[in-house]
């Protein structure tokens, strides 16, 4: 897909068009199909990219590689260290990594396949204790005891993990959840943000707002906000098990109202915690909310029915792959 943009060529100052396409890229001797964007100078035909366009390509490329090889994502790697209350020096000794290596993995550097599998295994407390025992000679006795008790005392299954299992059905990273980390608190605050911006909203319209926010974020950055899966049903795209998700979020008020001679549930809430979002995520949420707020529920349904994401997957209420994000007709981006 090509379109002209309001940008001057850095080569001639002339017109520029943006190209959005799928290309095959190689990483560690494997080939992956990824969505790419770049600009083309109309006068010279030369290509150039922005940092954001490069990040989109590499985010999608690295996400596919991590999923294929069971390598944790950066926030998961950071979560391992925080869960066990360890500093970089301590966890490096336990895992046998080089100096500063763990910190680099947390910042996004891709681990080798063997180190990735070791990190994944370290999420298991029993295995982590085994590794600690094997590395006992790396610590003096006092520090070893301190580290041992910190690892041993870590929760085996935090409450949020129980929620993931019971409510979200253990969603794993894939193209069907935009390679996002399923974060219970972020899902809750995302729902409450969109409700509060409306002053009150029916679930049908809220479902579309969630869909557009997640898929537009993926279109821009190669990752979803919520980590939720979506499916195409009669009234448009919806988060899988959305009714159960909404019912288990604290701080949402429900009111039964009569709409079109039918009883409907109207959702409202007074507050949300914006601190769980990045500035880029918050920008997307505001853009979607501002666009949908003046529209009726029926208008939003009709808009979603124009999207290929819905039309391609409505037969059998199929899951919608986030790759459909690049064909969105949503007018904001």
| 148/129 Cα distance (integer angstroms) | 7
Contact, 319 vs 230, CB < 8 A? yes
Q: According to the model, what pLDDT value does residue 164 have?
A: 56
Q: Does residue 224 register a pLDDT over 60?
A: yes
Could you give the residue ranges of the DSSP H alpha helices within 139-232?
Answer: 141-153, 159-166, 184-198, 203-221
Q: According to the model, what pLDDT value does residue 156 have?
A: 56
Write the CA distances from 318 to 231, 235, 240, 246, integer angstroms: 5, 13, 10, 21
Residue in the structure block whose two tokens are 């949503």: 330
Strands (E) in the chain, as ranges, are 2-5, 16-27, 30-41, 47-48, 230-233, 236-239, 253-259, 262-268
Q: Where do the domains of the chain lie, and which CATH numbers do they carry?
A: 2-69 (3.10.20), 74-156 (no CATH), 163-327 (no CATH)
Q: According to the model, what pLDDT value does residue 7 have?
A: 86
pLDDT digits (tens, 9 = 90+) for 134-159: 999 999 999 999 999 999 998 655 54
Q: Does residue 215 register a pLDDT over 80?
A: yes
pTM for the whole structure: 0.79
| 94/128 Cα distance (integer angstroms) | 8
pLDDT digits (tens, 9 = 90+) for 154-203: 865 554 554 555 456 667 889 999 998 888 889 999 999 999 999 889 99
| 65/25 Cα distance (integer angstroms) | 11
Grouping H, G, I as helix, E, B as strand and the rest as coil, residue 324 is helix
Residue in the structure block whose two tokens are 């066990």: 84
Please compute the mean of the pLDDT values over residues 2-8 and round it to a whole number.
79
Strands (E) in 29-149, as ranges, are 30-41, 47-48
| 304/231 Cα distance (integer angstroms) | 12
| 188/226 Cα distance (integer angstroms) | 9
Out of 3-12, 211-220, 225-234, 306-315, which region has the weakest mean confidence (pLDDT)? Answer: 3-12
């Amino acid at each position: 897909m090509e379109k002209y943009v309001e940008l001057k060529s850095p080569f001639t100052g002339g017109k520029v068009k943006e190209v959005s396409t799928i290309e095959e890229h190689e990483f560690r001797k494997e080939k992956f199909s990824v969505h790419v964007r770049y600009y083309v100078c109309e006068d010279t035909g030369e290509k150039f990219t922005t940092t954001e366009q490069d990040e989109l390509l590499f985010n999608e490329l690295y996400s596919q590689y991590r999923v294929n090889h069971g390598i944790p994502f950066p926030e998961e790697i950071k979560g391992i260290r925080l869960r066990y209350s360890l500093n970089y020096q301590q966890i490096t000794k336990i895992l046998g990594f080089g100096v500063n290596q763990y910190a680099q993995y947390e910042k996004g550097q891709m681990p080798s396949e063997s180190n990735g599998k070791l990190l994944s295994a370290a999420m298991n407390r029993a295995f982590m204790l085994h590794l600690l025992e094997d590395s006992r000679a790396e610590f003096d006795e006092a520090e070893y005891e301190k580290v041992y008790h910190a690892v041993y005392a870590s929760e085996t299954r935090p409450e949020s993990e129980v929620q993931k299992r019971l409510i979200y059905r253990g969603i794993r990273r894939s193209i069907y959840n935009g390679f996002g980390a399923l974060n219970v608190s972020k899902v809750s605050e995302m729902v409450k943000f969109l409700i509060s911006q409306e002053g009150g909203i029916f679930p049908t319209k809220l479902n579309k707002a969630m869909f557009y926010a997640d898929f537009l974020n993926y279109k821009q950055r190669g990752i979803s906000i919520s980590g939720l899966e979506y499916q195409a049903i009669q009234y448009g795209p919806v988060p899988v098990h959305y009714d159960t998700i909404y019912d288990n979020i604290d701080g949402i008020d429900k009111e039964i109202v009569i709409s079109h001679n039918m009883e409907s549930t109207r959702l409202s809430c007074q507050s949300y915690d914006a601190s769980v979002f990045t500035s880029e995520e918050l920008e997307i949420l505001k853009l979607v909310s501002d666009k949908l707020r003046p529209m009726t529920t029926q208008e939003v349904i009709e808009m979603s029915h124009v999207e290929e994401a819905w039309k391609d997957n409505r037969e059998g209420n199929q899951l919608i792959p986030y790759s459909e994000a690049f064909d969105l007709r949503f007018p904001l981006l």
